[in-house]
């Protein structure tokens, strides 16, 4: 199975908690990530998703100049960069979020992992295993075919095969 470091996005969008909602929205408008990670000393302390922005701007009627620190989701669930894919999948199933900051051993932000990244990697892995399985099956059938053909000729030369 793949490691998270192989499938993560290595250029996540980040802002400081003093940035405005407007600044975060402009960052997200230019990239397909769907979120901005709020950092302090290069460590994730919060996350703002596109749905957080819509919900806060539409329903709470907040000002676009409000600081992101006021609307960010804190207590971020991070995933270690050297985690295996199945461990990340368990975290995603348990927590139910779609995007996760990826951190190194010291807790510094090194990437972003989305649920779609994990699904795509698992799909690719399954495709590879299915191809391998089909190759083995073809080899087995070819082997059986040759054994059948050879047996018919060898029976004439080796009477103990009868």
DSSP structural state of residue 95? H
Read off the pLDDT of residues 96-127 as tens digits, 9 standing for 90 and up.
899 999 999 999 999 999 998 988 888 888 88
Rounded Cα gap, residues 28 and 37, in angstroms: 11
Rounded alpha-carbon distances, angstroms, from residue 135 to 141, 146, 149: 10, 17, 21
User: DSSP letters of 57-71?
Assistant: HHHS---TTSBGGGT
pLDDT of residue 162: 66
Average pLDDT, the chain: 88
Quick check: helix, strand or coil at residue 46?
strand
May I ask the CATH class of domain 4-114? alpha beta
pLDDT of residue 82: 93
Burial group, residue 5, by CB count within 10 angstroms (0-12, 13-18, 19+): middle
Rounded Cα gap, residues 162 and 152, in angstroms: 10
- Output the tens digit of pLDDT for each of the chain's 162 residues: 678 999 999 999 999 999 999 999 999 988 888 899 999 999 999 999 988 888 887 877 788 898 999 889 888 999 999 999 889 889 988 998 999 999 999 999 999 999 989 888 888 888 888 999 999 999 999 988 888 887 777 777 777 766
Host H or E run for residue 16: strand 14-16
Question: 13 with 35: CB under 8 angstroms?
Answer: yes
* Domain boundaries, given as residue ranges, for the chain: 4-114, 120-161
pLDDT of residue 128: 87
pLDDT of residue 53: 87
CA 154 to chain centre: 55
């Amino acid at each position: 199975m793949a490691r998270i470091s192989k499938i993560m996005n290595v250029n996540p969008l980040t802002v400081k908690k003093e940035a405005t909602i407007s600044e975060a929205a402009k960052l997200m408008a230019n990239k397909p990530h769907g979120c901005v990670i709020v950092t302090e000393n290069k460590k994730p302390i919060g996350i703002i998703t596109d749905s957080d922005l819509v919900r806060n701007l539409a329903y709470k009627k907040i000002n676009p100049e409000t600081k992101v620190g006021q609307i960010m989701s804190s207590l971020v669930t991070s995933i270690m960069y050297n985690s295996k894919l199945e461990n990340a999948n368990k975290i995603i199933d348990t927590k139910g979020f779609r995007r996760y900051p990826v951190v190194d051993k010291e807790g510094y932000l090194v990437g972003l992992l989305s649920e779609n990244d994990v699904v795509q990697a698992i799909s690719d892995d399954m495709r590879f295993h299915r191809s391998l399985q089909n190759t083995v099956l073809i080899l087995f059938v070819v082997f059986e075919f040759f054994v059948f053909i050879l047996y018919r000729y060898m029976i004439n030369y080796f009477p103990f095969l009868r």
